Structure 1
Amino acid sequence: MKLFKRFSLIRSLKGNLAIVLIITTVIPIILTGYISYRWIYIVQTEKIEKDIQTNITRETNELERRLDDTTSVSQLLAIEGGIGRDVVKFIANQDELEKRNLYADINASMLNVNFANPNLGVMFYYTPDYKDPIIFSNSNIAPTFLIDQLPLFYEKNLLKYYGPYTSLNTNDNSLVFSLVRTMPDGVGHTIYAYIETKLTGMETMFAQNAKTSDSYHVIVNPKGTVTYSNLAKINQVGQAFAAPKGYKVFSATSIYDWKVYQLIPFSVYNHEINKWIVQFILFSCLSLIVGVGLAWFIWKKVYGPIRLINKEITRFRNDQTTNSLAMTGLVEFDQLLLNFDQMRGQIVDLIMDVEEKEKRRGQLEVEKLLVQINPHFLHNTLNTIQWLARMQGQTNIAQLVTIFTRVLHYNLGKKNIIVTVEEEVEAIRDYIQLQNIRYDHVFKVLLDIDPTALDVSIPRFILQPLVENSLYHGFEQGEGEINVIIQKVEESKLLLIVKDNGIGISAERLAQLFEQEDNIQKSGLGIGLHYVKKMLDIYYGASAQLEIASSNGKGTTISIHLPGTMKGSHEDV
């Protein structure tokens, strides 16, 4: 995705949105076209072809069945079958009465056969060696009939199949197939049984007016020669079959190796696909028009609110004052604008908070500078006092000045405002030792320091003011015990506790300590506490917590919770 964004030539939202809308319009058209084309193609190639193949197979089987029916009937007309034997007797008999009886029996038998097989047409016996060659015919037959003139289809032993051709019935012009069975009469002559089968129900296959048909049929004998075609301009009777160009060819083969071909022009075969292509082009054009219209509409709906949001952001960049928002009328973009308005308010509050903190820090720097009354002068003076005390053998005074110098150097010196817990603890020890000398050890200070917290960085001078408050304001008789506890909790977080067993602070006074900061700062108790609160606010903000628990006569406990990281500057003040 990153690579695509890097090499994309279109960088504007407008261009990308236009491309997305075009793609979302074109892809459904392509997918719809592909799926529908595949469906039509499958229907065309599978269902339609299967139907056509099934149809031509059915037609082939039907023609084969009818030819087989003529074969079965020919067995009844054979000499061995009964009727043929009577015909031989009829021809050879000279007795007129017996001959008349045989004639009646043969005619009755022929009528029964014809009645039992309604698809049969003309039936008769052909005796070319006798005066009347056509006998026992069930129809009017032209007297010029010759077997050799019939179009041979195929032959099998003594059976020959002919057709298709026009029926020998002078009153019927329909196409028929026929079977001629050759039967020796035993006295040197040959008798032929002629049987026609009608093509009733197969008119589509043998349509005479093929120009009005959507398909054409060609019948080929086992030798590959065309015996029937209603597409005579391409496949003529008597010629070898060749698949013509421009036609879809289907075929079925009989068990006797003759074939039936069905030829469908591609213009007809592809009619549905061609029709679909025209409809799909119209549908695609309409979809593109609708897609372009929708793209323009969506663009107006999206780009307008984006311009309005950009306008609000630009105005806020130049002017951070709060202004009324102009809504877009769309829920999503209006929600975005409301979120931006909330963010704008938070940014303004943050800027004001930063400015206020900078102002506080400046005040703190001034306060520190006011306290630092020429530290070099004070240090030099104290060093002179320390030297004179040692010269005169005043070791107590020299020790007091040494400790006081260290305390003064830590509080008023040039050290960084950020120190380690170990440095802060050493300063507390010096302060405690200094106060013990001053008060002749009338109070006790116990230090409980977690060794793992010694390297943690904290703002300088946040414990001594609290110890000093306990010392000066916690004990009426000047005697008592102060506990300083430093613990490392939850990885880098610190817990600082200054606890005394002094007179405590009333609930009303506690409330004043947190509610009236200006009055507190003027009192002795509030000066150190005010300094600590400011240091915590500058370097930790709301992440640090200062808690005071106290009651009259039960002492005071001040707890400070420090997070693992500071938010203020680490530079000197």
Structure 2
Amino acid sequence: MKPTPYRNFKESTRHLFRVYTMIPFSILIVLFLAFTIMNGRLNLTQKTTEAAQSISQSISGVYRQYDEEIHRMAESPTVINYVSSHLGSEQVYSEFYDFNNRQKIKSIFHIVNTDGVFLASSAPADALYSNFAFGNLIHRIEQRPGDTLTEMNSFRYSHDRDTSYTFGKAIVKDQQTIGYIIYQLYESDIQKVIFEQNNEIALITDEHNTIIATTSNVTKGVLNKFNPKVDNKGHVLLNGGKYYKYSKRIPGTPIQVITLNSYKSEQYTYYTVSFFVLAASLLLWVLIQFLANKMSARNSESIDKLIHALAQLREGNFNGYVDIQTNDEFQILGNEYNVMLDRLKELIEKNKELSELRTIIEVKQLQSQFHPHFIFNVLETLRYAIKIDANQAQEIVLILSRLLRYSIGHDRSVQLKNDMNYVRDYLKLQQIRFNDRLDYRITVADETLDVYVPKLLLQPIIENAIKYGYENQSDVLIEINIYTSAGKLILEVRDNGQGMSKERLQGVKQILQSQTNTTQHIGLYNVHRRLVLLYGEASGIHIDSTQGTGTCVVLTIPYEWSEYHV
């Protein structure tokens, strides 16, 4: 089977640092762009709306002032007397100019009698005598003598000055129309009023969408109408561009204010922001790469030293000490590893000295077996815990230190309570490794706590329960029950794994009963042989297993013997 490729700790740290740095940064970029888009759209809407409201307020004021003034002048005794007697023109002109000079939008003033003769005018009126449109204007005023006529119409006067909106009213004396008073507003002055600094295009129209005044001729359509094309999103299409439109009708008037702003300004903002984000992203990526390399190199140095030392240990080099001076848990782990090497070398020397005693040699060899792969697994778990949960990483280091300190002790036999403390620490590490998919229950009778048992007695049994318990299932429960019965110390280890078939169970029992073992199943065999060598043939291991239910391993030791060192 092809081995699973592993990424070294340095590369993993660098990779995770980049990932966990880029994730929040990417989220911030998305939120920033979303905010920019929303803010740009809101700003476009807001400035278009505010421009329309400002123009509407100004035009509304002008309209109200002219409406009030034409009513006053039409009913003024001075004007009525002037139309009747042709006397007092100076006073009429004075009142007009006093009013006109106060206005933002200036106008041309006419007084015409019922015969169409201009009695007073603030501009040369010669061209108006034969003007058909002006004649129609007088006719419409004549038809509604009690109302004020307001409408869009265009007349050109000297110096190419055009008027675009007219107020007209009949002058009535003794319920008889004797003349007409007319105010015509300059288009250029209206354009100045509707021009807003933060707005692109503004125009005002009458109730028939006829343009009274506009700040851009692109809005003018056929017959001076404002009838632009609109896409399916409601955007106004003018001169190849898209515009946001806001309309506001001035209350009490036939005038409508329309403001337009192009989406191009919004797009320019998006392009600017996008360029800024891209440049910032590139700069940040370079910075992240640099910081990731620095951090991974610093954090992986201790792990690399430990892994290198363990690799030397696997090759049989017991002089592969580690030198870690980081003042943290790695230094503790390194020191404990060095102590372990010293103890291991001492045990090897003692085994050589006791070579003439076959039984003691076998026991010492079995006791001094060391499994570096367990430490490899713990270190792998520790590597990820360092990046995810610092408190859990510290707990792992402390537990592993206790396990190493305990496993390299000189004692061949220990009190049961001490060995069970080791078992609890070992199961706790495995539980961390399997992310709580491993559960265990330990029940120990009080009278058994102080008895002496062979050191690390249950270790291979528990390893087997974990190793084979996860076959075809994701959760494992291990139950340990220790008690006395009929003068014997009973240690039960039960799991809820898949169990063994009858044939496999029979094969395991045959291995346990043999004097030599040439198979790969050495865990249970070593424990059984150790008990047989120390306590006799009546002691050892008994296995019960049912396929699909689980396995129970029972260790039996003479209780009276277990009170003493073995």
Q: So what's the TM-score if we normalise by structure 1?
A: 0.51
Q: Give the equivalent residue in structure 2 for 1:72.
A: 68
**Aligned equivalent of 1:159:** 148
Looking at structure 2, the residues matched to 220 and 329 of structure 1 have their Cα atoms a distance apart, in angstroms, of: 80
Point out where structure 2 has 5 or more consecutive residues left out of the alignment.
229-235, 363-445, 454-481, 488-530, 536-558
1:192 is displaced (CA, Å) by 2.6
Report the residue type matching 1:277 in the other structure. S
1:244 aligns with 2:227: no
Does the CA contact (< 8 Å) of 1:77 and 1:193 recur in 2? no
- Whether contact under 8 Å (1:74, 1:195) holds in the other structure is no
Instruction: Describe how 1:435-454 pairs up with structure 2 within 5 A.
Output: none
Once residues 110 and 278 of structure 1 are traced to their aligned partners in structure 2, the CA distance between those partners, rounded to angstroms, is 59
**Range moving further from structure 2, 268-277 or 189-198:** 189-198
Question: In the alignment, what sits opposite 1:475?
Answer: none
Deviation at 1:279, TM superposition (A): 0.8
Secondary structure of 1:127 counterpart: strand
- Measured in 2, the distance between the counterparts of 1:326 and 1:107 equals 108
Per the alignment, residue 143 of structure 1 pairs with: 126
Distance 1:197 1:347 in 2: 108
1:110 pairs with 2:96: yes
Q: State the match for 1:181 in structure 2.
A: 169
Does 2:285 align with 1:288? yes
1:66 CA displacement: 1.2
Task: Tell me by how many angstroms 1:324 deviates.
Answer: 4.4
Q: Is the 8 A contact 1:226 1:238 kept in 2?
A: yes
Change (3 A) 1:285 1:345: same
Distance in 1 between residues matched to 2:484 and 2:135, nearest whole Å: 116
Quick one: structure 1 residues 562 and 124, their matched pair in 2 at CA, closer, same or farther if it must change by over 3 Å? farther
1:280 to partner: Cα distance: 0.9
- Partner Cα distance (1:271, 1:41) in 2: 11
- Within 1, Cα distance between the matches of 2:447 and 2:267? 90
Partner of 1:284, secondary structure, is helix
User: Distance in 2 between the 1:198 and 1:133 partners?
Assistant: 23
Do residues 271 (structure 1) and 256 (structure 2) align? no
Counterparts of 1:151 and 1:567, CA distance in 2: 131
Match of 1:485 in 2: none
**Post-superposition offset of 1:273:** 1.8
**Identity within the alignment, %:** 10
Which residue of structure 1 lines up, in the alignment, with residue 313 of structure 2?
A: 316
Take 2:177 and 2:354, find their aligned partners in 1: how far apart are those partners? 141
Tell me if 1:36 matches 2:21: no
CA drift at 1:52:
2.7
Answer yes or no: is the 8 Å Cα contact 2:200–2:262 preserved in 1: yes
Q: Summarize the alignment of residues 359-398 of structure 1 with structure 2, pairs less than 5 Å apart.
A: 362=359
> Aligned pair 1:88/2:74, yes or no?
no
1:493–1:223 distance in 2 versus 1, CA, 3 Å: farther
State the match for 2:201 in structure 1: 216
Residue correspondence of structure 1 range 367-516 to structure 2 within 5 A = none
Cα distance per residue 1:56-107 (max 9 Å; x no partner):
22212221221121111111112xx3x2x432322322xxxxx54x334434
Q: Which whole-Å deviations, capped at 9, do the CAs of 1:148-182 have from their partners, x for residues lacking one?
A: 25999x999833334586885x5795877442223
- One-letter code aligned to 2:70: S
After TM superposition, the structure 1 stretch with the greater mean CA deviation from structure 2, 239-248 or 52-61, is 239-248
Structure 2 counterpart of 1:292, one-letter code: Q
Instruction: Say if 2:104 is the partner of 1:119.
Output: yes
User: How far did residue 309 of structure 1 move?
Assistant: 2.1
Q: Distance in 2 between matches of 1:344 and 1:257?
A: 100
The 3 A distance-change label for structure 1 pair 202 and 133 is: closer
Instruction: Mark the CA change 1:351 to 1:235 in structure 2 (over 3 Å): closer, same or farther.
Output: farther
Matching residue's letter, 2:79: V
CA gap 1:206/1:172 in 2 versus in 1, 3 angstroms:
farther
- Alignment root-mean-square deviation, CA: 5.1
C-alpha distance in 2 between matches for 1:12 and 1:159: 89
Query: In 1, Cα distance between the equivalents of 2:52 and 2:296?
Result: 59
Task: State the Cα deviation string for residues 299-340 of structure 1 (Å, max 9, x = none).
Answer: 433444433322111222334645543447685644442343
The residue aligned with 1:340 is 337
2:6 to 11, 35, 38: 11
1:437 alignment counterpart: none
* Whole-Å separation in 2 of the counterparts to 1:109 and 1:174: 23
CA deviation map 1:348-390 (0-9, x unaligned) = 567678889998894799xxxxxxxxxxxxxxxxxxxxxxxxx
Is the CA contact (8 Å cut-off) linking 1:492 and 1:563 kept in structure 2?
no
Tell me what 1:398 maps to: none
> Residue type of the partner of 1:11?
Y
Q: Which residue of 1 aligns with 2:549?
A: none
- Judged with a 3 Å threshold, the aligned counterparts in structure 2 of structure 1 residues 60 and 364 are, in CA distance, closer, same or farther, namely closer
Paired letter, 1:215: E
Amino acid at match of 2:183: Y
Q: CA deviation at 1:122?
A: 3.0
What is the Cα deviation at residue 567 of structure 1? 9.1
1:224 is paired with a residue whose SS is coil
